[in-house]
Amino acid sequence: RYAALSHSWGKAQVITTTSQTLDQYKQCLSYTKLPQTFRDAIKIARRLAIGLLWIDSLCIIQDSTLDWEEQAAKMASVYANATVVIAAESALDGSGGCFISSDERTYTPFEFECPGPEGSKSAVYARPDRKSGPISPFCSSHTRQAWSHLSTRAWVYQEQLLGRRILHYTKSEMAWTCNSANICECQTVGLSPQIEVPQDIIPEQTSLSKRTVLNMWTNFTEEYTRRSVTHAIDRLPAISGIAAACNQHFSGQYLFGIWQDHLPEALLWSVSVTKTRQSQRIESYAPSWSWAS
């Protein structure tokens, strides 16, 4: 049993394991030196009686290309097999933490009456929002990106897509998603994410047809490319865990984000070019026929 932390590194200096610190951290890593997000994640894991916590910046040797490539290939397994994924949704960096301060959770009660037909009763759910319009479940992909800094990050997409059980800590509420239910403090809803991921996508399952997985991969890349990546060279590594989970369903090669089994259809993609996208273009990183270019 172990938990895995899903968090945003941000621009602040993140504590990392390197070749120089590896032996030292194996002996002792002071709790007080950890950033707030890491400390909060440890508290959550302890309250859930989970003794192990996986954090990418500490569990991967950051200045070792060999270890980084080896661990990146295991991302699907790490998040898919975690007892729970702890998602620090609103923290911009390691200093943000998972928990909400008491001041932000102090609301003035509001009461109103709205009689239903024949005396029926209805439940009303609410949460603070700066935008007008209907409230949608936090658990939907669209709402997460509107409310959550974490859900705008490319690296986090596969972490939350592959995680079987996720605890989301946001500014306004805590939410829970798993394979059977989505639950948040403002309301309780059924399983209705934008992209459903059957457990068959996990490597040990084999019942999905090739066409089904190809369609899923198209949806994955469409959703994934809406997100931001700090280093453009990470575009393919940041989705490699999902690619590894899909790999068993195909006989052809994986070619820069496109499956050989999906050619030539997979070449029919287009992109809305923005200044951000243009600035992240890397010469010779991927061939022009790949969406990763």
Which residues have C-beta within 8 Å of that of residue 145, sequence separation ≥ 6?
151, 152, 226
**DSSP 3-state assignment of 61?**
strand
Tell me the per-residue pLDDT of 103-136, one tens digit each, with 9 for 90 and over: 555 556 566 677 777 777 766 666 565 444 444 4
Question: How much is the pLDDT for 35?
Answer: 92
Output the CA–CA distances (angstroms, integers) from residue 216 to 170, 220, 241, in the order listed: 28, 6, 14
What ranges do the domains of the chain cover? 1-106+124-194, 198-293
Residue 264, preceding peptide bond in cis (omega within 30° of 0): yes
Burial profile 184-199: b = 16 or more Cβ within 10 angstroms, e = fewer = bebbebeeebeeebee
Identify the pLDDT of residue 70.
86
**Residue position matching structure tokens 């948040």:** 184
Write down the pLDDT at residue 200. Answer: 41
Q: What is the pLDDT of residue 130?
A: 47
What's the Cα-to-Cα distance from 209 to each of 143, 217, 249, 258, rounded to whole Å? Answer: 30, 12, 8, 17
* pLDDT tens column, 179-216: 777 787 766 544 444 334 444 454 445 567 788 888 88
Q: Which of 13-22, 101-110, 221-230 has the lowest mean pLDDT?
A: 101-110
Mean pLDDT of the chain: 78
More confident residue, 153 or 102: 153
Whether residue 88 contacts residue 98, with contact meaning beta carbons closer than 8 Å, is answered with yes
Instruction: Return the half-sphere exposure (C-beta side, CA atoms, 13 A cut-off) of residue 47.
Output: 8
Distance CA 28, CA 50 (A): 19
Q: Coil, strand, or helix at residue 147?
A: helix
117 HSE (CA, 13 A, CB side): 0
> Residue 153: beta bridge partners?
228
Q: Has residue 45 got a pLDDT over 60? A: yes
pLDDT at res. 275: 47
pLDDT digits (tens, 9 = 90+) for 69-96: 888 778 778 988 999 999 998 888 888 8
Q: What is the DSSP string of 196-233?
A: ---GGGSTT---S-HHHHHHHHHHHHHHHTTSB-SSGG
Q: Are 39 and 31 in contact (CB under 8 A)?
A: yes
pLDDT tens-digit profile of 133-151? 444 444 444 445 455 778 7
Tally of CB atoms within 10 A around 95: 13
Three-state DSSP state, 188: strand
d(CA 257, CA 290): 7
Backbone phi, psi, residue 27, to 5°: -80, -50
β-strands 3-6, 182-184 pairing: unpaired
Q: What proportion of the chain, given as a percentage, has pLDDT over 70?
A: 74
182 three-class SS = strand
pTM given for the model = 0.76
| pLDDT over threshold 50, residue 66 | yes
Q: Which two tokens stand for residue 204?
A: 């040990």
Q: Do β-strands 165-169 and 84-88 pair in parallel, antiparallel, or remain unpaired? A: parallel
Distance (Å, rounded) from C-alpha 59 to C-alpha 173?
29
